[in-house]
Amino acid sequence: MKDYKFCLDFKVRDYECDMEGIVNNATYMNYLEHARHEFLHTIYRHRFRRDDRARHNHGCDPCGA
């Protein structure tokens, strides 16, 4: 396995699966958003605390798409 800069384990919950036990494809967006949030929190938690202006000045702005 390749070394990644960030890795996050998830537990798949039963309500995220269909009757065959396959994860619903829309659920992956929730997984990606959660992983992005945890990644940014890991990188910036010590540097910025909760100062949004400092994040902005560093080039890290929240964006919804």
Active site residue 3: no
Q: Which residue is associated with the tokens 């959660």?
A: 34
Of 9, 14, 18, 61, catalytic = 18
Rounded distance between C-alpha atoms, residue 56 and residue 19, angstroms: 44
Instruction: List, in order, residues 6 or more apart from 18 with CB less than 8 Å away.
Output: 24
| Active site amino acids | 18
